Structure 1
Amino acid sequence: MKILVIDDEKDITYFLSEFLLELGYQVKTENDPGKAEETFLGEVFDVVLLDINMPRISGLKLLERFRILAQDVIIIMISALQSVDLVVKCIQLGAYDYITKPILTLDQVHIRIQRAITERAIRAENHLLRKQLTRHGEAQDLQFRSAPMRRVMEMIRMVAPFDSTVMIVGESGTGKEVVARAIHQFSLRSQKSFVAVNCGGIPESLLESTLFGHEKGAFTGASERKIGLFEESDQGTIFLDEITETSLAFQVKLLRVLENSSIMRVGGTQDISLDLRILTATNKNLMASVKDGNFRQDLYYRLNVFQIPLPPLRDRKEDIPAIVEYHLQRLLKRMHKPQISISEAVMERFQQYDWPGNVRELINVVENALIMTNTDRIEIENLPRDSEMFAHPDEINTGSELTDLQSAKNRFEQLYFQRLLRETKGNVTEAAKLAGISRQHFHLKLKSFNIASKF
């Protein structure tokens, strides 16, 4: 790591140089501002510590010049002037940080340098990942800067080149399908098909024929042969979401697919060999399902060769600004709306909220706000009033005016179903059990109140 220190005061460059050399950095100093550009061009530096007030040529002029010559270099300005306007100008010209003299503790310099290097590495990694995904044919909304998500990306890159099964575990809305698509895009199968199946959203009676296909006459209504999703995924990747919602009978058939790399259509008599990769996901504790007898242990070991746990959004709130900005721009383009920004008050509210629906809920709120705003900025009043950001599920908040009984009942039901989803972390099956109604009835209720069930 090379650092260039530019200051016309030799004492400053000496002490900074000695301190940084002890920390293991390679350091070069320049006391003549007139020779600063020549020194800068002579080598490739990672960080430049640049004084502002120097004779003949100011640090601001050098900052502008350096930023043109090398956009990736980290430039930290140093000055005895404590002016807000000056700090703002430095940042606008491309400086990463601003340190005021006298420098009372050299450790602060080290901290600023380390923070800058870390953030640059994160930005470079994000850029590389998006570039790689785009090159593979599909740009994904993998927006992050948090340590937990960096670990997730490391795991994706480790497992992607191999055909091993992967179990993606996380709450609803944490981006399990996004991760599955990323694994596919980084794999050797990236040019082949990727098929996503929500096992919990397909009735048990139809799941087998949907995945395995069926022959003509296999059952009433089977008027012709149908190719299943397993066959459509041949040479590619199939992603089975909510795998724990499948029956034990179906799990036996899936185990056979994994063991023999073949399927048999419903009503068929011949095995069909397949070459495909199977990725699965669940929002449940899979081992608990095994112990409860709801999931086969042998299938568990087949599917759980490599597990990727996804953190909930509340545990990586530092990612919220990047996620919001990415989807804001994507939605603006899709909705053909002019440029709209997010107010600081709204972003603060986003940071305070725990997002039980995770990223999907955040995206829904941003899209709703874009529809509601008629100005160039999203404010608090543009956010959906039925969001849990405004009303606690334990309370019936009908506003300042009383409403009729039916409206009050509807509001109570809406908050009740929102709380069920929150308490079960988006697990519709568990929420329906708590409500004492069928899964289908629960889905109808969610639809009637416009509540997102699949995050």
Structure 2
Amino acid sequence: MPINNILVADDEESMRWVLSKALRKKGFNVELARDGEEALRLIKENVFDLALLDIKMPGMTGLDLLDRIKEASSDLLVVIMTAEASMKNAVEAMKRGAYDYLTKPFDLGVIDALVEKVSRAREMTSQVSLLKEELKDRYQLEKTIIGNSPAMREIYKTIGKVAPSDVTVLVQGESGTGKELIARAIHYNSRRLGKPFVPLNCAAIPSELLESELFGFEKGAFTGATERKLGKFEQANGGTIFLDEIGDMPFDLQAKILRVLQEREITRTGGNQSIPVDVRIVAATNQDLEESVRKRQFREDLYYRLNVIPIHLVPLRERAEDVPLLVEYFLSKICGELDVPLKRCSNEALNLLTSYNWPGNIRELENTIKRAVILSPDPLLVAGDFPGLTTRQEDGKGEELSLEGIVDVKLRGSFSNMERMESGDVYAMVLEQVERPLIRFVLEKTRGNQVRAADILGINRNTLRKKITELGIELRKE
């Protein structure tokens, strides 16, 4: 992270003048203070990268000011200047958290070397902080991508295959399905871990501002551009840029994204210099880009450059077997955030949540659970705590669950507290409850013809007769 803004605090006007002239000549923004109180006010009003503080000033000394800076948990780097070259001053300054210590008089070359040293230190500190945040996010990510359905297992496999390379990925899915989580998973499992992950929602920024947001701009490029600004591509250099809702990107701007993919360089708005960038692009959309290409709303060449590895996130209604897992995760997460005792769902409520269509997908599910946790005073959430939800069959949207999905949901609902169950013949109990309706159904369809029913079930007639007796199935009387 480069140094831009420097504060010089010294009660000697000549020292302030010399330092400000030398530093401004190097291109730095410099603010001057005559004493500690003025310096503290400037620090509160501005953001500085480096402060050069005289150790002896009227009123608040440089060391006192250093204490105030550290008390505020500021990451401002402080260099103490003094005309008294004593070990006591040096030790005291460093003990209180000064980055360095200079003895007056000093050559201006020492200041140049010091600024360079501070720049390297800030860059290293920035990288370490970034790595810590990346690792923290990665740990959280492992707990937030929830699902064990076949569709999710395939996505996990794809992430594992594509993450180590720099291939461009296009994540497609409805709003609320977790496209950014997938993009982060790709980044955190790649060689770019520890480098920036920079997300940008192309639909959330006005089209006239999107270009400068992506590519940055030079000072004076337009009214209000009082200083140079780095765009998202430069901020993501070495890492990954996530272009969310890329289907909403203006058509003319798409050509410039294509150039980045092809040439690996950008040009800031108002500039004429090509700047190389090393970024991996992961894009996402909730639109049908093939249809947009046919309607000439999206560039065909860009679509093919983005769609090297497509990942399709199925809506929640098509992986309803994951809902109980998501409910359990969100209950734990939300109760922890709200600092309330852990709540759980009744079987009836869980069945309702699993049967609902979820047009807003995982985002809607999370918000629904949060609302119920906040409004319900009881530790057990019941169906009545989720007003307005209708079952999949009632609202007529989506497809019904598969037989396996229905069984999975029922089992999870029935045995959600498995850890508190006593040892017993659960296997036989579940099989009995499945066998009884199955045999009853087949007998009904065959009008009580046991030979035909045994053939359909794939068992012999004697076994069928035994099951009818054991399960207490009443035979239909013609």
**Which interval holds the TM-score relative to the shorter structure?**
0.5 to 0.7
Residue number in structure 2 paired with 1:374: 377
Cα deviations across residues 181-239 of structure 1 (Å, max 9, x unaligned)?
11111111111111111101111011111111111111112122111111110111011
Corresponding letter in the other structure for 1:348: N
Would the aligned equivalents of 2:170 and 2:308 in 1 still touch at CA under 8 Å? yes
Among candidates 135, 157, 160, match of residue 157 of structure 1: 160
* Structure 2 SS opposite 1:173: coil
* Structure 2 SS opposite 1:230: helix
Among candidates 300, 303, 308, match of residue 305 of structure 1: 308
Do structure 1's residue 211 and structure 2's residue 184 form an aligned pair? no
Q: CA distance change for structure 1 residues 388 and 194 in 2, over 3 Å: closer, same or farther?
A: farther
Would the aligned equivalents of 1:136 and 1:185 in 2 still touch at CA under 8 Å? yes
Cα deviations across residues 379-424 of structure 1 (Å, max 9, x unaligned)?
22322x455679x999xxxxxxxxxxxxxxxxxxxxxxxx9xx9xx
Would the aligned equivalents of 1:170 and 1:282 in 2 still touch at CA under 8 Å? yes
Residues 348-363 of structure 1 mapped to structure 2, 5 A cutoff: 348-363=351-366
Cα deviations across residues 298-317 of structure 1 (Å, max 9, x unaligned)?
11111111101111111100
Would the aligned equivalents of 2:211 and 2:253 in 1 still touch at CA under 8 Å? yes
Among candidates 176, 191, 194, match of residue 194 of structure 2: 191
> Quick one: percent identity of the two aligned structures?
45
Cα deviations across residues 222-266 of structure 1 (Å, max 9, x unaligned)?
122111111110111011111010111110111111111111111
Query: Distance in 1 between the 2:166 and 2:157 partners?
Result: 17
Among candidates 232, 236, 239, match of residue 239 of structure 2: 236
Residue number in structure 2 paired with 1:342: 345
Do structure 1's residue 276 and structure 2's residue 267 form an aligned pair? no
* Structure 1 SS opposite 2:364: helix
- Displacement after TM superposition at 1:167 (Å): 0.4
- Displacement after TM superposition at 1:352 (Å): 1.2
Residue number in structure 1 paired with 2:229: 226
How many pairs align?
264
Residue number in structure 1 paired with 2:141: 139
Query: Distance in 2 between the 1:214 and 1:242 partners?
Result: 23
* Structure 1 SS opposite 2:164: coil
Query: Distance in 2 between the 1:163 and 1:233 partners?
Result: 14
Query: Distance in 2 between the 1:324 and 1:206 partners?
Result: 39
Query: Distance in 1 between the 2:136 and 2:211 partners?
Result: 34
Residues 46-445 of structure 1 mapped to structure 2, 5 A cutoff: 136-140=138-142, 141-383=144-386, 385=387
Residue number in structure 1 paired with 2:93: none
Cα deviations across residues 349-372 of structure 1 (Å, max 9, x unaligned)?
111111111111101101111111
- Displacement after TM superposition at 1:145 (Å): 1.3
Query: Distance in 2 between the 1:238 and 1:177 partners?
Result: 11
Residues 24-63 of structure 1 mapped to structure 2, 5 A cutoff: none
- Displacement after TM superposition at 1:137 (Å): 4.6
Would the aligned equivalents of 1:133 and 1:186 in 2 still touch at CA under 8 Å? no
When Rg is computed on C-alpha atoms for both structures, the one with the higher figure is: 2
Corresponding letter in the other structure for 2:365: L
Corresponding letter in the other structure for 1:216: K
* Structure 2 SS opposite 1:214: coil
* Structure 2 SS opposite 1:169: strand
- Displacement after TM superposition at 1:271 (Å): 1.1
Query: Distance in 2 between the 1:173 and 1:277 partners?
Result: 23
Would the aligned equivalents of 2:138 and 2:185 in 1 still touch at CA under 8 Å? no
* Runs of 4+ residues over 3 Å off in structure 1: 132-138, 385-390
Gaps of 5+ in 2: 1-133, 399-478
Corresponding letter in the other structure for 1:314: R
Q: CA distance change for structure 1 residues 318 and 133 in 2, over 3 Å: closer, same or farther?
A: farther
> What is the CA RMSD across the aligned residues, in angstroms?
2.4
Q: CA distance change for structure 1 residues 389 and 210 in 2, over 3 Å: closer, same or farther?
A: farther
Q: CA distance change for structure 1 residues 142 and 231 in 2, over 3 Å: closer, same or farther?
A: same
Query: Distance in 1 between the 2:359 and 2:274 partners?
Result: 44
Would the aligned equivalents of 1:133 and 1:182 in 2 still touch at CA under 8 Å? no
Query: Distance in 2 between the 1:316 and 1:393 partners?
Result: 17
Report the TM-score when normalising by structure 1: 0.55
Corresponding letter in the other structure for 2:216: G
Q: CA distance change for structure 1 residues 227 and 387 in 2, over 3 Å: closer, same or farther?
A: farther
Report the TM-score when normalising by structure 2: 0.53
Corresponding letter in the other structure for 1:342: C
- Displacement after TM superposition at 1:346 (Å): 1.0
Cα deviations across residues 15-61 of structure 1 (Å, max 9, x unaligned)?
xxxxxxxxxxxxxxxxxxxxxxxxxxxxxxxxxxxxxxxxxxxxxxx
